[in-house]
Structure 1
């Protein structure tokens, strides 16, 4: 998807009412410090749309990002932060459960797992809970740049085995540094959120923009690289340059005359 506009439209806390949005939604869940904010910023081509904090567990709200006035990307609170007290953990769980049960436009849930480590007990609990609620979570294995290419397949297998994922579950390795997996995630989101007619229109629009950009480059390449002299262009800046030169010549002529 080509990102034309994106804004944080709605922020919901524990007592907030889940908005009845007009457009379809996809939600992102994951434990604290799994790289969810970095993922959202990478998907949106923004550096600081979702705030990245050095303090895990900072996100305590459900954030609704309106994308192109066509869909919503929903950032769920991070779970599993060890230093959070029992009351806060319970509230985060209530918020996530409330949203998943309440939203009428939710099309898919993406569950983020750190590819470097085995899924934690909280990850397993979240995955099992989502499945029991009738969802089929799509796994995003974050921080893939921290591993060698040769290690990725084995770590993905570990994630699948530990979570006991259902056959056909999609697992996408992702890196916010290299943007590996970004296009794959967006292609999947597009197929889940939009109908075939809308997808075709979006594809045609993107192809038209690419062709226009290529045509502009070809036209620029066909132009002579050497700039025309001021006498031919008649540009105001060139005229000013001529005036300064004429003035300098006149002054030089006067000085030479005085010397004589």
Structure 2
């Protein structure tokens, strides 16, 4: 995707703060310091728009980035950081659960996992939760540049096995340093948006056909 316009919109903590323009949304979930902000910066070709930090757990809101006035990338708070208080973890959990359950423009969750390590318990819980509620998910294994290319397949297999990865789900190998996977991930996002548009159009046509049939019966 050619990026022509990117804007940080809001750090939201409540549903009434979410954007209301109904653009499709793709949320990024993952443990603290897994590289979500770096991935966003690579995806939008901006070095510093999404703030990266050496301090895990810094992101405490849902950070909205609008791209080309067509789609939102939504950066979730990282999970699994021990120094975040129990109250904060509960607040994060409630905020994310509310968003995932109720957010109509959400099209997919990108579950970000470091390719070098086995998925954490929180990663597995998040994946299971998304599958249970039938929320589309793509597993993005980041930091591919940190291990030899010859070990990619072995590490990806280990991650998929640990997650209980469903064959129908998508996986993208990614590196924020080299740009590996960027075009593939944008292609997936664009395809998902087009499929959602087609489904909405079909539903609209079905509603119109039903209304026409009802009018005919009344006559």
Q: Where on the TM-score scale, by shorter chain, does this alignment land: which range?
A: 0.7 to 0.9
Local SS of the residue matching 2:51: coil
What aligned pairs does 1:182-193 form with structure 2 within 5 A after superposition? 182-193=182-193
8 Å CA contact 2:10, 2:64 repeated in 1: yes
* Residue aligning to 1:117: 117
Quote the offset at 1:10 in angstroms: 2.2
Supply the distance in 2 between the matched residues of 1:166 and 1:196 (Cα, whole angstroms).
Answer: 21
> Pairwise mapping of residues 225-244 of structure 1 onto structure 2 (< 5 A)?
none
| Number of residue-to-residue matches in the alignment | 198
Change (3 A) 1:165 1:58: same
- Give the superposed CA RMSD: 1.8
Following TM superposition, by how much is the alpha carbon of 1:24 offset from its aligned partner in structure 2, in angstroms? 1.0
Distance in structure 2 (CA, Å) of the matches to 1:77 and 1:21: 23
Tell me: higher relative CO, structure 1 or 2? Use CA pairs within 8 A at least 6 residues apart. 2
**CA distance 1:4–1:81, change in 2 (3 Å):** same
Which residue pairs with 1:160 in the alignment? 160
Q: Distance in 2 between matches of 1:63 and 1:20?
A: 15
Length-normalised TM-score, structure 1: 0.72
Give 1:38's aligned residue. 38
Per-residue CA deviation, residues 72-125 of structure 1 (Å, 9 max, x unaligned), is 111111111111111111111111111112211111111001100000111111
The gaps in structure 2 that reach 5 residues or longer are 199-219
Q: Distance in 1 between matches of 2:9 and 2:26?
A: 15
Residue equivalent to 2:128? 128
1:62 aligns with 2:56: no
Q: In 1, distance between residues paired with 2:110 and 2:197?
A: 25
Measure, in 2, the Cα distance between the counterparts of 1:105 and 1:129.
Answer: 19
Deviation of 1:196 after TM superposition, in Å, equals: 9.9
* Partner secondary structure for residue 141 of structure 2: strand
Following superposition, the deviation at residue 197 of structure 1 comes to: 9.4
Whole-Å separation in 1 of the counterparts to 2:113 and 2:89: 19
SS in 2 for 1:8: strand
Q: Counterpart of 2:99?
A: 99
- What residue number does 2:148 align with? 148
Equivalent residue, structure 1, for 2:26:
26
Q: Distance in 2 between matches of 1:19 and 1:101?
A: 16
Q: 1:169 to 1:195 in 2, by over 3 A?
A: closer
Runs of 4 or more above 2 Å deviation: 14-22, 194-198
Structure 1 CA distance for aligned equivalents of residues 59 and 139 of structure 2: 20
Q: Deviations over 1:23-59 (max 9, x none)?
A: 1111111110100000000000000011010100100
Query: Quick one: structure 1 residues 89 and 16, their matched pair in 2 at CA, closer, same or farther if it must change by over 3 Å?
Result: farther
Give the equivalent residue in structure 2 for 1:250: none
SS at match of 1:60: coil
